[in-house]
Amino acid sequence: MNDLSADLSGQELLRSLQERQLALNAQNGALRSAQLALNTRREHYQHLFEYAPVAYLTLNADGLITEANVVAGELLGADPVKLLLQPFSNFVATEFADTPHLNGGSDSLKPHDYDIGVCRSDASSRHVQVNSIRSEDGTVRLTLTDITVRHQQEHDLRIAAIAFESQDGIFLTDENHRIIRVNRAFTRITGYSEQECIGQTPRLLRSDRHDDDFYALMQESIENTGGWSGEIWNKRQNGEVYPAHLTITADCSQNGLPGTYFATLVDITNSKLAEDEIRSLAFYDPLTQLPNRRLLLDRLQQALSGTVRSNKKGALLFIDLDNFKSLNDTLGHHVGDMLLQQVAERLRACVREDDTVARLGGDEFVVVLEGLSTQVVEAAAQTEIIGNKILTALNLPYLLGVHEHRSTPSIGITLFNEHDCGMEDLLKQADIAMYQAKKAGRNTWRFFDPKMQESINARVKLEAELRHALEQQQFQLFYQIQVDSMHRQLGAEALIRWIHPERGIIFPVEFIPLAEEIGLILPIGKWVLETAFAQLKAWQASELTRDLVLAVNVSAKQFREADFVAQVNSALHHYNIDPKLFKLELTESLLLDSLDDTIATMGELSAIGVKFSLDDFGTGYSSLQYLKQLPLDQLKIDQSFVRNVATDQSDKAIVRTVIAMAQSMNLNAIAEGVETEDQRQFLIENGCTHYQGYLFSKPVALEEFESLLKELPKITEGVPVGIFSS
């Protein structure tokens, strides 16, 4: 019984041990499974740590790196294994060494974010964003994100923002040239607020100083080169025009077409004023604001060069004020300065805008005239007019403060072109001529060239004598007969002669151009008309002369007088003259200038019966287009074609053409300058039957002309009377 109990107890114990072993084995299996799962998870997280897309570092309590993943190695430029046990502070840029929470230095267990710079092992640097968290045991885990590119972009944006708000005006436009943004400097410079500008085009700033070509060239530059830069005149919001320097840059889009436009605007008003002041000090006399010697020489050189291109003469006038020193000595230099300033103003008023008036110093002035005639004598005459104008202006009284003062100048003149001499020589010549003027008694002018001076003196004398001749009625009309092919009298041309008391007869070629220049042609022309009408009236009393047609030349100035038609009409009525007996001879140049006015005047005169002859036909620029518009009655073949018509083939062809043209237009043709029978015979053979010339008579005085008429056959009854029959 005891043994059985013992056996039962042993079996139970064994069974209990087996059960315990099974439980232990099960427990060990669970442990192994848990360990395996833990290892798997550890490997998974280790893999995530090693190959995560951001950098991970683990630091111990001493700040040494105990863990580093691959990205951390790449960020710091080293093998992750070699980073282990290195102080993290070795990689932190010096300027960030005191960053709070760096290395987890704070006692707080909360995570912290901050930006620092790190130095790589190759000495380059990166900018990173750090997230750090500290454990209770002092371990610090760091997550580092590379933000170098973002940091640079932010830096660039800050710089751009600072630059955009610079002292220079800046505006941006879109592809349609509409303003999309402006800075504060732009609104300060232009006066336009941002709201007033947005949506507008830069035309908002346009002034009237530039034409469309200027802006077209600007746009062409932007399209071809991607930009434009230069000075421009703009207008502020208040209407003020100011100088600016504008730079435009086109920002092209991906398709190569302009996207936005970036423009900078700099107000250069002050720099322009400074530039003008510097230029004024360098090139202008501070007292009179006239060009000084330096600028004078520059302009004189340009004038000399200009004579080469144009072949026109120039003139240099050296002006010295007479007795200027005595004014300074008696009234003081401040009064003398006032005189010099007023002289400068008067000199400027005497010349054209393109001419130069300069002050050399003291009381010496220089005037440079450009664009004078290509002929020396004519250029000298033009200069004489300016010289006299200056003399007149400077002789007028001056009001100098409370003093009234009179001053006179002495003027030396020299003409020039590129090949004459240098600038200094020209000044010397004019200076010498000025002293010649002083020796002549002051208050006058003299030319440097003695021959030229002689010519000018003769011209001055002729002008004075011409005025005297008009006052003393020294003019006389001579008459040259006009005949037909049978030598029968048709009429005459009245030609003016000056009967000089010492020189005898002076022909028109010597004094008419001067009369036109000095304005005497109008009173002389009126005298000719009055004398011609009076003579026609006198001829009415004689059967021998009552049918004569009298031709009178008229100048362009006289013909274009507003009351010329009224003058002729009044004279015709006053002398009771048949208008068909009066003929006006006009030149081609007179007709071509102001053709519409000429046609109107001729039409009015033709309506009252006055006849017209076109003088010197063929020497100008005759055109059938205008000839057919004119109420002409006659073409006058110029003597230059008649002179050699019997021998020269070209002259023959021209004369035939003129005769044929006259016949086709139902006009009479008369040849002047007929001197030989051969000439007359050629004209007859080609249909021209009216003549004037030495073959019949030279121009003669009235008594001789009337005697000549008695020797010529008169057109009989039944034959058309006058030169206008064919």
Span 165-192, pLDDT tens digits: 677 889 989 888 899 889 988 999 999 9
> Would you say 265 and 192 are in contact if contact means Cβ atoms under 8 Å apart?
no
pLDDT higher than threshold 50 for residue 34: yes
> Using CA atoms, how far apart are residues 707 and 50, in angstroms rounded to an integer?
141
pLDDT higher than threshold 50 for residue 719: no
The string of DSSP codes covering 452-466 is HHHHHHHHHHHHHHH
Helices and strands (DSSP H and E) totals, the chain: 25, 26
For range 195-218, the mean pLDDT: 91
> Using CA atoms, how far apart are residues 100 and 112, in angstroms rounded to an integer?
9
Q: What confidence score (pLDDT) does residue 255 get?
A: 44
For range 702-707, the mean pLDDT: 94
> Using CA atoms, how far apart are residues 283 and 294, in angstroms rounded to an integer?
6
Instruction: Give the bridge partners for 141, in sequence order.
Output: 58, 133
For range 337-358, the mean pLDDT: 95
For range 39-43, the mean pLDDT: 65
pLDDT higher than threshold 90 for residue 75: no
> Would you say 527 and 475 are in contact if contact means Cβ atoms under 8 Å apart?
yes
Q: What confidence score (pLDDT) does residue 724 get?
A: 31
| Tokens coding 397 | 């009284």
pLDDT higher than threshold 60 for residue 715: no
Bigger pLDDT: 148 vs 110? 148
> Would you say 552 and 583 are in contact if contact means Cβ atoms under 8 Å apart?
yes
Angle, helix 595-607 to helix 564-575, in steps of 10 degrees: 20
| Tokens coding 220 | 């062409």
Q: What confidence score (pLDDT) does residue 672 get?
A: 94
CA distances from 275 to 244, 267, 366, 561, 701 (A): 14, 14, 26, 51, 72
* The three-state (H, E, C) secondary structure of 327-345, written as one string: HHHHHCHHHHHHHHHHHHH
Contacts 24+ apart (CB under 8 A), 513-522: 514/459, 514/462, 514/463, 514/466, 515/466, 516/555, 516/557, 517/381, 518/463, 518/466, 520/466, 520/467, 520/470, 521/555, 521/557, 521/558, 522/557, 522/558, 522/561
For range 226-241, the mean pLDDT: 93
For range 435-443, the mean pLDDT: 91
For range 282-304, the mean pLDDT: 91
Residue 103: band (very low, low, confident or very high) from pLDDT cuts 50, 70, 90: low
Q: What confidence score (pLDDT) does residue 410 get?
A: 96
Q: What confidence score (pLDDT) does residue 721 get?
A: 34
Bigger pLDDT: 690 vs 518? 690
Least confident piece of the model among 153-167, 414-428, 507-521, 635-649: 153-167
CA distances from 81 to 57, 103, 139, 190, 506 (A): 12, 19, 19, 64, 125
pLDDT higher than threshold 60 for residue 130: yes
Q: What is the DSSP letter of 311?
A: -
- The set of residues, in sequence order, having a beta carbon less than 8 Å from that of 443 and lying 6+ positions away, is 322, 391, 395, 408, 409, 410
Q: What confidence score (pLDDT) does residue 717 get?
A: 37
For range 698-708, the mean pLDDT: 94
User: Within 13 Å and on the Cβ side, how many CA atoms surround 583?
Assistant: 25
pLDDT higher than threshold 50 for residue 161: yes
pLDDT higher than threshold 60 for residue 587: yes
Q: What confidence score (pLDDT) does residue 619 get?
A: 64
Q: What confidence score (pLDDT) does residue 322 get?
A: 93
pLDDT higher than threshold 60 for residue 586: yes
pLDDT higher than threshold 70 for residue 507: yes
Residue 359: band (very low, low, confident or very high) from pLDDT cuts 50, 70, 90: very high
Closest CA relative to residue 312, chosen from 439, 386, 417, 198: 417
Among 50-64, 142-156, 575-589, the range of highest mean pLDDT? 575-589
pLDDT higher than threshold 90 for residue 571: yes
For range 626-644, the mean pLDDT: 89
pLDDT higher than threshold 70 for residue 223: yes
For range 364-386, the mean pLDDT: 93
Q: How far is CA 103 from the centre of its chain?
A: 74
Bigger pLDDT: 281 vs 651? 651
| Tokens coding 666 | 């139902």
Closest CA relative to residue 686, chosen from 651, 660, 648, 723: 660
pLDDT higher than threshold 60 for residue 423: yes
- The set of residues, in sequence order, having a beta carbon less than 8 Å from that of 526 and lying 6+ positions away, is 558, 567
Span 525-562, pLDDT tens digits: 999 999 999 999 999 999 999 999 999 999 989 999 99
> Using CA atoms, how far apart are residues 708 and 410, in angstroms rounded to an integer?
56
Buried b (16+ CB within 10 A) or exposed e, 328-359: beebeeebbebbbebbbebbeebbeeebbbbb
**What count of other Cβ atoms lies within 10 Å of the Cβ of residue 574?**
12
| Tokens coding 315 | 């003139």
| Tokens coding 539 | 């001829």
Q: What confidence score (pLDDT) does residue 577 get?
A: 92
Token look-up 């230029």 returns 279
Q: With the CA atoms of 200, 201, 206 and 212 taken in that order, what torsion angle do they form, in degrees rounded to the nearest 10?
A: -150
Angle, helix 521-539 to helix 450-472, in steps of 10 degrees: 40
Q: What confidence score (pLDDT) does residue 18 get?
A: 79
Buried b (16+ CB within 10 A) or exposed e, 504-541: eebeeeebbeebbeeebbeebbeebbebbbebbeebbe
Q: How far is CA 549 from the centre of its chain?
A: 56
CA distances from 592 to 48, 599, 621 (A): 104, 10, 8
Bigger pLDDT: 611 vs 275? 611
Q: Average model confidence (pLDDT) for the chain?
A: 86
Q: Percentage helix, strand, coil, to 5, in the chain? A: 50, 25, 30
**What count of other Cβ atoms lies within 10 Å of the Cβ of residue 9?**
10
Q: What percent of the chain has pLDDT over 70?
A: 89
The string of DSSP codes covering 121-142 is TTS-EEEEEEEEEE-TTS-EEE
Closest CA relative to residue 412, chosen from 453, 387, 445: 445
Span 43-74, pLDDT tens digits: 656 666 777 778 988 999 888 999 999 888 88
CA distances from 229 to 217, 249, 543, 718 (A): 11, 9, 88, 87
Side chain identity at residue 286, one-letter code = P
CA distances from 340 to 183, 365, 369 (A): 51, 10, 21
> Would you say 72 and 55 are in contact if contact means Cβ atoms under 8 Å apart?
yes
> Using CA atoms, how far apart are residues 266 and 99, in angstroms rounded to an integer?
44
Closest CA relative to residue 359, chosen from 257, 283, 259: 283
Side chain identity at residue 373, one-letter code = S
Q: How far is CA 598 from the centre of its chain?
A: 35
Closest CA relative to residue 317, chosen from 425, 433, 423, 417: 433
Q: What confidence score (pLDDT) does residue 270 get?
A: 86
Q: What confidence score (pLDDT) does residue 261 get?
A: 87
| Tokens coding 524 | 């002389």
